[in-house]
């Protein structure tokens, strides 16, 4: 029996109820089929049920067209499906429940008769079927249009994306917002929607989402190529962590050391067993390795990194022999006849992987051999070396990720309670009260965000959250999130405004940095402006193919753009008693960055101002440019 349900939550609820009945009757085996299962767990639906026992497979719409399962004689269709829609105003994807289309309902019905006669039971009326859409809503009305708009501009046609003759016209408001988003991400030239920037011309050649492509580019700029390749590849596929890794608490600690996979491969260990114990789908790890190689080749072809040096004749002979052996193994794998395994009566979806299987298919050996040959000993050592981070490289890594995913950032709510199990709220510019995903590292280690306990003068306002995915299911969740120093926003923000009178800097008309002392304000603003100029120069040189460009961004070693605000004060203890605005909206809609202009103007205005001081020794009012001048005058008296 194949049962179509709309989501993982519904599948889990039904499976738990059916398991009780199946254990009592010993006539059913309850299985699941959805995207968060490992490849091994998904393959279990193809195994044969023992004599006198039936399989009951609870599946999402993944089983509509992707797979054909033997022995399916009955199909139960709930008529529901979960679809992802993108909101261009908030930048958020929403996973919502809908009635399926008539075409999809017919596809589900056809699953019952693929390998023999069958019956389909629809849990809805004929009237409801008649009210369903004929076909599923087109993707052009459901997904982000940023990549589409970028590809249209790259075609060098004489009109903008808004004037493109679409076969099926998208929502024009969403298309306009996509073009605006491309400008904010530095992909389009300002003042129009028909020209790509140098960054955009590189991004359009990379077959990934724009934020992921920017991570790759900035990884080259910051000399963190290996780590950025891994990050980009990991974000481009489904998570390797299965539902099993979150279901069993003892695996939460073990899954952090994913670098053990490379060590296991280097030592030629049992990778399948390693992944099964940790709830990690090793097939996904192999995919990450393949994507890393593909991305590296694309960066080499684009001139962003240097190609590997030539090999000598001995190395070429060895690799030729290895490729021949690997080709033979792949040929054998194609003709391998898989043994049909028989399921155990007393095993279900939650225990089916408990029994270790020592049999390895030829394809398993092919994947392990391919990974080993592609990386070899030297390559694996380099991967292990480059992925062991220290404080300095971690800060650089945060910088390149921030530059890549900008403007996807949020500020933590001031009333969060940083205890395990509590929801942690954060506010984006267009969507307040988003929630850090409960399976994310920050939600599982909330004490890392609790700066109220800090003895270094920190507060929660000294940090921001950047994220790669904004997804709403039951709640709006920030996924793949990372904590960064708040002042990093000064380096990447598209709109920065300085106020000399208030000693504050406003980024994106959203986040305000307020300084107690004017000296701190000028020091941070000047250093941020310098870093922005040098980052832009380094990026431009790298995009032009100069792989030796200087990437030493900070010219003033005495100023650190990091977690600690220059004064080191807790923000609720400001000397002047003013309130710090953690987030808010401002009326100024100007978009150009004015850090340097405002800084120079403020300095000029300050130079014209003087401090009046009455000297008791001289017995007259004097004018000084700074408090230091006053101190020098006082010391001049005996």
Give residue 625's pLDDT.
64
Q: Which pLDDT score, from 0 to 100, does residue 355 have?
A: 56
**CATH, domain range 146-353:** 1.20.120.1080
Q: What angle do CA 202, 551, 487 make, to 5 degrees?
A: 95
**Coil, helix or strand at residue 463:** strand
What is the band of 284 on the pLDDT scale with cuts at 50, 70, 90?
A: confident
Indicate whether 18 pLDDT > 80.
yes
Burial code (b: 16+ CB inside 10 Å, e: under 16) for 48-71 equals ebeeebebbbbbbbebbeeeebee
pLDDT at 265: 67
Better-predicted residue by pLDDT, 281 or 590 = 281
Q: What is the pLDDT of residue 566?
A: 33
Confidence of residue 414 (pLDDT cuts 50, 70, 90): confident
Higher pLDDT, 415 or 352: 415
Task: Give residue limits of the domains in the chain.
Answer: 2-140, 146-353, 406-593, 605-638
Q: What percent of the chain has pLDDT over 90?
A: 24
Give the model's pLDDT for residue 559: 37
Q: What is the pTM of this model?
A: 0.76
Task: Reduce the DSSP state of residue 397 to 3 states and report it.
Answer: helix
Under the banding of pLDDT at 50, 70 and 90, the label for residue 630 is: low
Question: What length does the chain have?
Answer: 638
Is it true that 2-140 and 146-353 share their CATH fold? no
Mean pLDDT of the chain: 77
CATH code for the part of the protein at 2-140: 3.40.50.300
Q: What is the pLDDT, as a whole number, of residue 498?
A: 85
Residue 593's pLDDT is 41
Query: How far is Cα 121 from Cα 108, in angstroms, rounded to an integer?
Result: 10
Q: 10 Å Cβ neighbour count for 630?
A: 15
DSSP SS3 for 98: strand
**Cα 221 → chain centroid:** 19
Average pLDDT of span 219-236: 90
Helical residues (DSSP H) of 101-224, grouped into ranges: 102-110, 126-131, 146-154, 172-184, 198-203, 210-221
- Structure confidence at residue 75 as a pLDDT band (50, 70, 90): very high
Predicted pLDDT of residue 573 = 31
Going by pLDDT thresholds of 50, 70 and 90, the confidence category of residue 341 is confident
- CA 48 – CA 482 distance, rounded (Å): 44
Mean pLDDT value across residues 195-199:
88
pLDDT tens, position by position, 366-375:
666 566 656 6
**Residue 99 contacts residue 135 (beta carbons within 8 Å):** no
- Where b means 16+ CB within 10 Å and e means fewer, 538-559 reads bbebbbeeeeebebebeeeeeb
């Amino acid at each position: 029996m194949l049962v179509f349900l709309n989501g993982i939550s519904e599948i889990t609820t039904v499976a738990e109820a059916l398991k009780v009945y199946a254990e009592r009757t010993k006539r059913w085996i309850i299985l699941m089929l959805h995207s968060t299962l490992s490849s091994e767990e998904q393959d279990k639906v193809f195994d044969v049920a023992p004599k006198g026992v039936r399989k009951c497979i609870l599946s999402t719409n993944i089983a509509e067209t992707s797979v054909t399962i033997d022995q399916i004689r009955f199909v139960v269709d709930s008529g529901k499906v979960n679809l992802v829609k993108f909101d261009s105003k908030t930048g958020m994807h929403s996973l919502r429940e809908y009635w399926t289309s008539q075409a999809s309902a017919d596809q589900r019905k056809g699953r019952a008769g693929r390998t023999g006669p069958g019956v389909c039971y629809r849990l809805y009326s004929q009237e409801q079927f008649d009210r369903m859409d004929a076909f599923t809503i087109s993707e052009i009305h459901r997904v982000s249009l940023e990549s589409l708009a970028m590809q249209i501009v790259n075609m060098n046609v004489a009109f903008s994306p808004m004037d493109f003759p679409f076969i099926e016209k998208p929502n024009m408001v969403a298309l306009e917002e996509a073009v605006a988003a491309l400008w904010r991400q530095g992909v389009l030239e300002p003042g129009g929607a028909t020209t790509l920037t140098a960054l955009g011309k590189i991004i359009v050649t990379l077959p990934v989402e724009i934020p992921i492509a920017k991570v790759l580019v900035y990884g080259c700029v910051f000399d963190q190529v290996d780590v950025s390749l891994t990050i980009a590849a990991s974000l481009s596929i489904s998570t390797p962590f299965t539902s099993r890794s979150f279901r069993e608490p003892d695996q939460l600690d073990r899954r952090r050391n994913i670098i053990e996979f490379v060590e296991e491969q280097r030592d030629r260990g049992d990778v399948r067993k390693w992944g099964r114990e940790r709830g990690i789908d090793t097939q996904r790890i192999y995919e990450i390795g393949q994507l890393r190689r593909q991305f590296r080749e694309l960066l080499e072809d684009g001139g962003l990194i240097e190609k590997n040096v030539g090999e000598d004749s001995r190395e070429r002979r060895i690799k030729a022999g290895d490729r021949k052996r690997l080709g033979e193994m792949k040929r054998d794998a194609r003709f391998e006849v898989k043994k049909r395994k028989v399921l155990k009566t007393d095993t279900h979806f939650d225990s089916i992987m408990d029994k270790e299987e020592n049999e390895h298919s030829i394809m398993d050996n092919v994947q392990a051999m391919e990974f080993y040959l592609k990386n070899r000993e030297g390559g694996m050592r380099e991967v292990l070396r480059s992925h062991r981070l220290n404080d300095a490289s971690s800060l650089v890594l945060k910088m390149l990720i921030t530059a890549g995913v900008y403007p996807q950032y949020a500020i933590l709510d001031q009333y969060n309670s940083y205890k395990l199990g509590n929801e942690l709220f954060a506010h984006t510019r267009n969507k307040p009260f988003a929630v850090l995903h409960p399976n994310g590292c920050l939600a599982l280690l909330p004490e890392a965000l609790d700066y109220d306990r800090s003895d270094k003068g920190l507060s929660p306002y000294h940090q921001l959250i950047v994220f790669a995915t904004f997804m709403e299911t039951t709640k709006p969740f920030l996924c793949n999130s990372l904590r960064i120093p708040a002042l990093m926003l000064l380096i990447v923000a598209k709109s920065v405004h300085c106020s000399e009178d208030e000693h504050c800097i406003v980024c994106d008309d959203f986040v305000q940095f307020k300084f107690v002392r004017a000296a701190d304000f000028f020091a941070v603003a000047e250093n941020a402006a310098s870093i922005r100029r040098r980052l832009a120069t380094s990026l431009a040189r790298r995009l032009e193919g100069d792989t030796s460009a200087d990437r030493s961004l900070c010219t003033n070693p005495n100023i650190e753009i990091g977690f600690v605000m220059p004064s080191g004060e807790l923000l609720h203890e400001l000397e002047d008693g003013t309130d710090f605005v953690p987030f808010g909206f401002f009326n100024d809609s100007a978009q150009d960055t004015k850090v340097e202009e405002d800084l120079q103007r403020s300095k000029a205005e300050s130079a014209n101002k003087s401090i009046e001081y009455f000297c008791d020794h001289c017995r007259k009012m004097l004018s000084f440019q700074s408090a230091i001048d006053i101190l020098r005058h006082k010391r001049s008296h005996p």
